[in-house]
Amino acid sequence: MTTQPGRSAEEEFQPVTEEQLAEQLAYYSSRAGEYDDWWLRRGTFDKGETANEVWFREAELVRSVLSSVELGDDVLELAPGTGTWSVHLAPRARNLLLVDGSAEMLAHNPAAKEEQVRTEIADLFTWETDERFDAIVFTFWISHVPRERLRPFFRSLGSWLRPGGRLFFVDDLPLATTEPHVDGAAGQTMTRRLNSGESATIVKNFYPGAELAAAAGEFGIDLEVRESETYFQYGTGRRR
Ligand SMILES: C[S@@+](CC[C@H](N)C(=O)[O-])C[C@H]1O[C@@H](n2cnc3c(N)ncnc32)[C@H](O)[C@@H]1O
């Protein structure tokens, strides 16, 4: 286990409480209407032409990696939110299931209206399913999973994926700590500010790629994790 920037090892071991997980979910519901400003580099996230160009170039690199992943028919997207990535999955899947805890975030997801797409509003820390999938995708989600829940999360992924099934994820690199909506970070948590001025505490872990690959491997998933130059960590995997 490695210590994250500016955090002590003791802080990292502090488990996240149920209340903090509820606060994280409520934060995303409150942020739904302004969430896409972050991805589209609008408003306070607009860092100027040069920095934005790097962001969009690296985002496009990651998107092209997703397009090279064989998704198969039955696809599960966890925590899809406003659908930045769902819109790339929906045209390629026969069945796409979107599971997110926030109805407010899902209300902004254009893919949710597609005929082959089902949505489920559920807490991913307790959600279970008997369905099995050819691919599972989660974007900007793994950093919100507490350390003590990381192995159980990969155990679930291992059981939900069919043999040969594919995994794709993308998340932030630690530079995300310098984003304008961040007020501070301690242990596994980060304090974020909304446009309204209200603030909330969420979980934010920057897992080293090797740690994610080891956790995935334990549950039958061969996972390769890479990084773009500045902003993103991403991975592709296959269920053995
Ligand atoms: C950082 S956003 C990622 C959204 C989208 N995947 C993207 O790439 O833009 C995190 C998402 O996790 C969802 N979420 C947070 N806590 C959750 C929970 N306990 N169960 C299910 N979804 C949750 C939020 O509603 C939000 O849509």
The dihedral formed by the CA atoms of 133, 137, 141 and 142, expressed in degrees to the nearest 10? 80
CB-ligand 1 contact for 125 (6 Å cutoff)? yes
- How do strand 133-139 and strand 74-78 relate by DSSP bridges? parallel
pLDDT in tens, 192-206: 999 999 999 999 999
Residue 186 lies in a domain: no
Atom of ligand 1 nearest to the CA of 29: 25
Is any atom of ligand 1 closer than 6 Å to the C-beta of 111?
Answer: no
- Do the strands 74-78 and 95-100 form a parallel or antiparallel pair, or are they unpaired? parallel
Q: Could you tell me if residue 99 is inside a domain?
A: yes
What whole-number distance in Å separates Cα of residue 67 and Cα of residue 56? 16
As beta bridge partners, residue 194 has none
| CATH number of the domain to which 152 belongs | 3.40.50.150
Ligand 1 proximity of 223 Cβ (cutoff 6 Å): no
The answer to whether position 115 is within a domain reads yes
83 lines ligand 1 (CB under 6 A): no
* Structural domain includes residue 2: no
> Domain for residue 118, yes or no?
yes
Ligand 1 centroid vs 204 CA: distance in angstroms?
12
pLDDT band at 7 (very low <50, low <70, confident <90, very high): low
pLDDT one-digit tens code per residue, 139-179: 999 999 999 999 999 999 999 999 999 999 999 999 999 99
Residue 116 has pLDDT above 90, yes or no: yes
SS3 232: strand
Burial grade of 50 (CB within 10 A; 0-12, 13-18, 19 or more):
exposed
Q: Is 141 in the pocket of ligand 1 (CB under 6 A)?
A: yes
210 DSSP assignment: H
Ligand 1 nearest-atom number relative to CA 138:
6
Count structural domains, the chain: 1
How far apart (Å, rounded) are the C-alpha atoms in residues 134 and 137? 10
- Strand bridging mode 182-186 / 189-193: antiparallel
Mutating to test ligand 1, I would choose from 41, 100, 202 the residue with most ligand atoms within 8 A of its C-beta, which is 100
In a domain, 189, yes or no: no
Decide if 228 contacts 156 (C-beta within 8 A). Answer: no
Inside any domain, residue 197: no
Beta-carbon contacts of 40 under 8 Å, excluding residues fewer than 6 positions away, are none
pLDDT of 1 > 70? The answer is no
Question: What domain range includes position 119?
Answer: 14-172+208-239
Secondary structure of 100-125 as H, E, C letters: ECCHHHHCCCHHHHCCCEEEEECCCC
**138: CA distance to ligand 1 center in Å?**
9
pLDDT given at position 5: 62
Confidence (pLDDT) at 217? 98
Does residue 85 have its Cβ closer than 6 Å to ligand 1? yes
